Amino acid sequence: MSTSASASQPTAEIGVIGGSGFYSFLDDVEEVRVDTPYGPPSDPVAIGELAGRRVAFIPRHGRDHRFPPHKIPYRANMWALRSLGVRQVLGPCAVGSLTPDHGPGTLAVPDQLADRTSGRDQTYYEHGAAVHVSFSDPYCPTGRRAVAESARASGWEPVDSGTLVVIEGPRFSTRAESRWFASQGWTLIGMTGHPEAVLARELALCYTSLCLVTDLDAGIEEGEGVTMEEVLRVFGDNIDRLRGVVADVVKALPTERSCPCPGVLDGIKLPLELP
C-alpha cells in the first residue's frame, strides 16, 4: 500500500537506484510516496529488507520504463532517498564498453566520470549562493572497495577502475563519437550515471556505480552497431549475478561512514535546507 511521506514514514539507510530485474529484490516491502521540491521521483520508493539492512529502491526509469535517460527526474530521486534517511547509494546500470578488453558480461566499478550530456538539471544550488562542491573523485571509495571485494568473493572478477562517459541519449553513439571517446582514454559509456553522481555529492551522500557491460560500443567493433535487443539480452543473462553482488555490498557497507563523502559540505553556507 502506498502512503504519503510523513513523520511516521519508514526509513532506510542504503538506497539502490536500478532498472529491470531489481523491482522485487527486497523483502517485506512498503511503498512510500515522497513529495520533493523537484516533483515526484521516478516512482514511489520501495522500502524493505535486504541482507539484514533497510534499503530504499527507486526504479530509475519508472517501473513501466516511461522515462528516457534525459527525462529521468534525477534531482527528485536523490532528494527523496536522502529525505528517507539514506546516506549510501548504489547505482547499478547497463553500459557499453569503449575497449575490447571489457567485453559483454564484465562488471566494472569506475573511479572517474566524464560528462557529455546537455540540458540536464545537475545541481540543487541554482539560487541564493554559489556552491562549489568538490567532484575530483566522483565515487565513494568505501563503496567502490565493497563492490570490488564482494564481486571477487562471488567469483566475478571486476574491473575496479576506469572512466564512465555519460552521453545525453536516448540514441546510441555514432562510430565517430565512439572512437573519439575511446581516444580520450575513457573505458565505459552510459546514459544515466550523470547527474546522479554529482547530485549525490551535493547532498553529501556516498554514491557508487556498478556498471554491467552489455555491448562493445559502435566504434569498437565492426558490424551493425549497438542494438537494444542485444543490451537487454546480456543484461538479462547477468541480472541474477548483479543482484547477488548488490545484496553482498549492502551487507558489507559500514553502518558508520568514515569516507570523505559526509564532509564535502563542511564550511559551505548552503542556500537551502537539506532533508
What is d(CA 130, CA 126) in angstroms, rounded to the nearest whole number?
Answer: 8
Instruction: Tell whether the model's pLDDT for residue 176 goes beyond 90.
Output: yes
Joined grid coordinates for residue 52: 539484514
Give the pLDDT of residue 8: 73
Cα 47-49-53 angle, rounded to 5 deg? 105
pTM over 0.85: yes
Span 187-216, average pLDDT: 97
Out of 64, 217, 240, 248, which one is annotated catalytic?
217
pLDDT confidence of residue 4: 42
pLDDT for the residue 1: 32
* HEC sequence for 46-104: EEEEECCEEEEEEECCCCCCCCCHHHCCHHHHHHHHHHCCCCEEEEEEEEEECCCCCCC
| pLDDT surpassing 50 at residue 22 | yes
Question: Which residue, 246, 55, 253, is CA-closest to 154?
Answer: 246
Share of the chain above pLDDT 70, in %: 95
Give residue 221's pLDDT. 73
pLDDT digits (tens, 9 = 90+) for 138-173: 999 999 999 999 999 999 999 999 999 999 999 999
- What digits encode the pLDDT tens for the residues 224-251? 677 778 888 888 889 899 999 999 999 9
Question: Between 3.30.1330.10, 3.40.50.740, 3.40.50.1580, 3.80.10.10, what CATH number should domain 11-254 receive?
Answer: 3.40.50.1580
- Could you say which of 215, 237, 240, 248 is catalytic? 215
pLDDT of residue 6: 53
Give yes or no: 217 in active site.
Answer: yes
